[in-house]
Structure 1
Amino acid sequence: MKKLGIIAFALFMQTTFAQVNRFVYQVTMKSDASNKSDVKTENAYLDIAQEKSMFYSENRIKRDSVMQATFQSGGARGFNREQMEGLRSNINYSIEKDKKNQKTTFKDRIGRDVYTYEEDRPITWKITSETTKIGDYKVQKAETDFGGRKWTAWFTTDLPYQDGPYKFNGLPGLIVKAEDDKGEYSFDLMKNYKIADFPTMNQFGNTIKVKRGDYLKQQKKYQEDPMSFMTQGGGGGIRIGAVGGNRGGGNQNPADMRKRMEERVKDEAKKNSNPIELQ
């Protein structure tokens, strides 16, 4: 009986650690530099397991699910454009933290490809003695300069995780709230629950591994000439595989396509003229 009890406990512990803990953050953004009264809010997930964590938009995973179901049931013609528009996200990136190797990897789509880089700037925190309570958690204040912004974070040791939303980590607890000193970006923990495993992200196009500086150059190049990324691809980098091809359909005038593409990219650039990282 004792041996059976030990086996049962071991299985219980294995199951517990195999689970992924999902923390739901409300992300508030003032991403249009010309219109700070335009406040965008949406939810993002921080999924944490023993070996890694992932941070990404809630709408991203919902869109992936809708796209997958649509392709399986008859292809792109079955898309509900209104439903897809309702799931548009201002958080187009995803971030993965490798716990064992202490690496943070950033991924973002530029044109038809996904660009990925390893974050090369460590986050150095100044932990203060100030404490308060946010929701059910006792939290402590910490401050840092990162990406051209001054950030204040409130972390808790009530939960057994040393992680946080976006690229933030390195504190002795889980970040419950983080905001910059201009009040332009904030992350607020809303709730948490367990899920069976990390979701599978739909991947279209190539994954191109670059340095952070090269990613920024490619992003700027895309804003100036988006069609070059749709025809010949962006710039150099290490391609880690390719999926699919041209998923468009119908006979479309190339000149009209170029004009629509450039207008859309310029509009998106204007709406994101106050990015979360200023440098």
Structure 2
Amino acid sequence: RKDSIINEEMILAVDPEKSLFFSLRKFISDSTMTEDAKKGLMTMPDQNVHIRYIIKKNYNNSIVSLITDEYSTAYKFVITDERKLNWKLLQQKEVISGYECQKAELIFGGRVWSAWFTETIPFHDGPYKFRDLPGLIVKIEDSKGYHSFQLKEVKKIISSKIYNNVDLGKNIRLFTTNKFVKFYKDFRKDPAKDFKQRAMSGDVYYESDEKRSEHIRIVEKLRKDRIKRDNNIIEIDMMKEL
């Protein structure tokens, strides 16, 4: 819905070995909950966070991981992606966000992408899973204008604070991209399946069967409503045959 555009400020934190790409609002929310938990306080997550995933790129082995807690109340999902990005470099140049940039094109995730990168910033990285150009991606968007990223600011940060906040914990489910696609299609058909199984097994305590049934209905409605709104994902080819 182009009359209902969602904007979110993201951070691409880069060091010589790796990078993290995540929502600034989510980082603040998670940090607040962690600090409050140390004080014995329970704080709810910020409901205005739209992008819940974290993208981690390992420069040493070229593995990209998408980390998210969106699909389960019990697990964090880590989905590894080793696909190569076959960029086509073009001769067009333009100044974007104050940097001399060159254009490149890519087919990825069922979309055609146009990217502008600058060799002035010598990191072969960019937003989301985009990487492996001769410099930092300053701007990238798909051909229909549904998804767009543009650099707003570059500054030095204390990266250890950010990396320490990305705690995977013990409850992790690992997926390759291909296996996750199958899970994702099933999830969209029944997004509350995982929660319903936990509620019915006794993992979650309820005062009565009526309370349990009511809570399941609420969670199921919330997740189905979110799925209905989220029908134009970045990697749109994951929704084929749904």
TM range (shorter): 0.7 to 0.9
Which among 211, 222, 227 is matched to residue 176 of structure 2? 211
Give 1:268 deviation, angstroms: 0.7
Which among 203, 218, 221 is matched to residue 260 of structure 1? 218
- Pairing 1:90-239 to 2, within 5 Å after superposition: 90-109=50-69, 110-112=71-73, 113-198=75-160, 199=162, 200-203=165-168, 206-230=171-195, 232=197
TM-score (norm 1): 0.75
Measured in 1, the distance between the counterparts of 2:170 and 2:157 equals: 28
Which consecutive unaligned segments of at least 5 residues does structure 2 have? 238-242
Measured in 1, the distance between the counterparts of 2:128 and 2:51 equals: 10
Measured in 2, the distance between the counterparts of 1:251 and 1:226 equals: 24
Tell whether the 8 Å contact from 1:94 to 1:108 is kept in structure 2 after alignment: yes
> Which of the pair is proportionally richer in strand?
1
Tell me how many residue pairs correspond in the alignment. Answer: 226
Secondary structure, in 3 states, of the residue corresponding to 1:163? Answer: coil
Pair 1:60-2:26 in alignment: yes
Q: Percent identity?
A: 31
Measured in 2, the distance between the counterparts of 1:108 and 1:219 equals: 13
Measured in 1, the distance between the counterparts of 2:168 and 2:26 equals: 12
Match of 1:8 in 2: none
Change (3 A) 1:191 1:251: farther
Measured in 2, the distance between the counterparts of 1:179 and 1:202 equals: 30
Match of 2:49 in 1: 89
Q: Deviations over 1:138-196 (max 9, x none)?
A: 00000010000000000001112111111001100000000001000000000011112
Q: Which amino acid aligns with 2:24?
A: E
Measured in 1, the distance between the counterparts of 2:189 and 2:94 equals: 46
Secondary structure, in 3 states, of the residue corresponding to 1:172? Answer: coil
Give 1:114 deviation, angstroms: 1.6
Change (3 A) 1:256 1:190: same
Measured in 2, the distance between the counterparts of 1:123 and 1:144 equals: 7
Give 1:91 deviation, angstroms: 1.2
Match of 1:70 in 2: 36
Pair 1:38-2:13 in alignment: no
Secondary structure, in 3 states, of the residue corresponding to 1:154? Answer: strand
Tell whether the 8 Å contact from 2:62 to 2:82 is kept in structure 1 after alignment: no
Measured in 1, the distance between the counterparts of 2:205 and 2:26 equals: 23
Which consecutive unaligned segments of at least 5 residues does structure 1 have? 1-34, 234-245
Larger RCO: 1 or 2 (CA < 8 Å, sep 6+): 1
Secondary structure, in 3 states, of the residue corresponding to 1:268? Answer: helix
Measured in 1, the distance between the counterparts of 2:126 and 2:189 equals: 34
Q: Which amino acid aligns with 2:49?
A: S
Give 1:46 deviation, angstroms: 0.5
Change (3 A) 1:214 1:232: farther
Measured in 1, the distance between the counterparts of 2:83 and 2:130 equals: 11
Measured in 1, the distance between the counterparts of 2:92 and 2:191 equals: 47
Q: Deviations over 1:13-51 (max 9, x none)?
A: xxxxxxxxxxxxxxxxxxxxxx33210001111111001
Q: Which amino acid aligns with 2:110?
A: G
Q: Deviations over 1:97-128 (max 9, x none)?
A: 11111111122221121221221321111111
